[in-house]
Amino acid sequence: MRSAIIGLGVIGKVHAKVLSSQQKMVAALCDIDIGAAERVREQFAPDAVIYSDYRLMLDEIKPDVVHICTPHYLHAEMVIAALDRGINVLCEKPLCIRREDIGRILDAESRSTAQLGVCQQNRYLEVNEFVKEYLADKKIVGAHGSVAWSRDADYYNSAEWRGTQDQEGGGVLINQALHTLDLVQWFCGEPTEVVASKDALMLGDVIEVEDTLSARYFGENPFSFFATNCAPCGFPVQINILLSNKEKLTVLPSVLLINDEVKLRKGQKQVLGKACYGNGHEALIDDFYDCVATGRHFTIDGAEAAKVVRMILAAYESNGERVSV
């Protein structure tokens, strides 16, 4: 199959690395920064044609799969453009940043002959896969997820779209914490309501959006969530789950504890991008391509990826009031 990548920034380079390591053919690279595309071609995709217009690339190259690795606000239009051309799409998170775009994307997916997949790659980490299976026949009493990372002014000033409402769609929750929030709802089920509070505790003079948010989600299996970019340094994300049989699960990226005893430990594999990305991209990308090749349905499709987007947007809309997800 012939692949193409739109957006050759930090995460686009990770996708190029993975495709190269899996010996998949990258036929085209697209970025408004031609120099960025040329550097990626030199390292990972020597046969790729470079474009600055993604629609022209889709029409001329007609790739089997296009990877969308652009800033958040561009995802919806690019996903729809590819699906309407019958091109399989693997989109980085988030699926989109506006409620009205969820319906537009799902409509495009339903009328397309192609598949849509979204990179919520932490579902592919071995510890998380084990927890998902372990919980299948158990009753959850409650859960809590926590993300305590550190981002400074230099990070937000590194790209004009970062820290903006119109282009990033929010702050710590929709960017850094999305994957952990997705895992909590994957384990607990989709909630129906949320009450949340957000603030810019330390970066209010740098960004338009929140650097800290706390939330309580309500549903069959209720859970709370906390995320901040104001920690003095980055800490491992953590999910705590209490079961009706009194078991207490502590879920870390590579370790699972049950009642404070190690149940499972998985050695950290090579991470191709930032350490916080984890190493799930390789397994997810390989699975998506297998789905395209065999006709098997990819599980993290538009409807599945929209769940966490709805949860995030509802938390932003809450302002301390209990609202529907």
CATH code of the domain in which 259 resides: 3.30.360.10
What is the pLDDT of the chain when averaged over all its residues?
96
CB atoms within 10 A of CB 24: 17
The answer to whether residues 202 and 82 belong to one domain is: no
The answer to whether residues 70 and 165 belong to one domain is: no
> Tens digits of per-residue pLDDT, 186-227?
999 999 999 999 999 999 999 999 999 999 999 999 999 999
In the numeric block, which tokens belong to residue 45? 């995709």
Would you say residue 32 lies in a domain?
Answer: yes
Of the candidates 94, 71, 232, the residue with the CA atom closest to the CA atom of residue 162: 71
The answer to whether residues 146 and 51 belong to one domain is: no
Mean pLDDT in residue range 50-74: 98
pLDDT at residue 273 is higher than 90: no
Would you say residue 15 lies in a domain?
Answer: yes
DSSP 250: E
Number of domains forming the structure of the chain: 2
Contact 264, 5 (CB under 8 A): no
The answer to whether residues 105 and 157 belong to one domain is: no
Contact 206, 153 (CB under 8 A): yes
The answer to whether residues 135 and 96 belong to one domain is: no
pLDDT value of residue 276: 53
Would you say residue 307 lies in a domain?
Answer: yes
Measured in degrees and rounded to the nearest 5, phi and psi for residue 119 equal -80, 80
pLDDT value of residue 177: 98
pLDDT at residue 106 is higher than 90: yes
pLDDT value of residue 113: 97
The answer to whether residues 72 and 127 belong to one domain is: no
Would you say residue 258 lies in a domain?
Answer: yes
The answer to whether residues 305 and 170 belong to one domain is: yes
- pTM value? 0.95
pLDDT at residue 307 is higher than 90: yes
* Model confidence band, residue 275 (pLDDT cutoffs 50, 70, 90): low
The answer to whether residues 39 and 170 belong to one domain is: no
pLDDT value of residue 164: 97
The answer to whether residues 101 and 142 belong to one domain is: no
Final residue of a domain: which of 121, 152, 167? 121
CATH of residue 48: 3.40.50.720
Mean pLDDT in residue range 250-273: 84
The answer to whether residues 35 and 153 belong to one domain is: no
> Tens digits of per-residue pLDDT, 2-51?
999 999 999 999 999 999 999 999 999 999 999 999 999 999 999 999 99
* Strand residue runs (E) in 54-102: 65-68, 88-92
What is the residue range of 84's domain? 2-121
223-228 and 255-258 beta bridge pairing: unpaired
The answer to whether residues 100 and 210 belong to one domain is: no
pLDDT value of residue 270: 57
pLDDT value of residue 274: 52
Mean pLDDT in residue range 305-318: 98
* Model confidence band, residue 277 (pLDDT cutoffs 50, 70, 90): low
